[in-house]
Each structure stands twice: as structure tokens, then as C-alpha cells.
Amino acid sequence: MKDVSQQIKKLQEKMQQVLKQQQLLQKENLRLQKELDKKQTELGVQDKNVQELKQQLQVMRLNAGGMGEKEKKELEKQINKYLKEIDRCIAMLGA
């Protein structure tokens, strides 16, 4: 009889350990879900910024008729720099 009660006690201890581990995993899962939601929101903002910058670039290219060739190249260089930085941020958020 003592052997059976020891086995029951061991089973109860193991069940307690499993329950504690489950609670920890649930907390970690919730934390990761919140982090994912935050990153997805940030990614959406960055995507919106990229679209706005692309539109601005298109408008500037259309209006660039009055600019000299050197000014056009410098402007495009600067805009491309911004776009690369935004793409880098998006890549970091996606990782």
C-alpha cells in the first residue's frame, strides 16, 4: 500500500511540474504574440512610408524638368538612400 501511495505522490508532483511548465509556456506565447503584433504594426507603418516616398519620388521626377542634371542626380541619390534605409528597417522588422 505504501508503494502505491508513493507512486501517486510522484505522479502528483510530476503533474504539478507539467502545470507550471504549461503556465510558463502560455506566458511566453502571449509575450511573443504581443511582440509579433507590435512588429507587424511597425512593418505596416514602414510600408506606408515607403509608398509615400515612392509617390514623392514620382512627383519629384515629374517636376524635375526645371532642375539641372547634377541636381537631379543628387536628388535621386538622396531619395534612393532613404529608400534603402527604409528597406533595411523593413528587413530588420521581418527578421
**Over the stretch 12-70, which tens digit does the pLDDT of each residue have?**
999 999 999 999 999 999 999 999 999 999 999 999 999 898 888 777 776 766 666 77
Predicted confidence (pLDDT) at residue 92 exceeds the cutoff of 90: no
Per-residue CA distances from 26 to 19, 20, 29, 38, 61 (Å) = 10, 10, 5, 18, 52
Predicted confidence (pLDDT) at residue 4 exceeds the cutoff of 80: yes
What is the rounded CA–CA span in Å between residue 41 and residue 78? 27
Judge if pTM exceeds 0.75. no
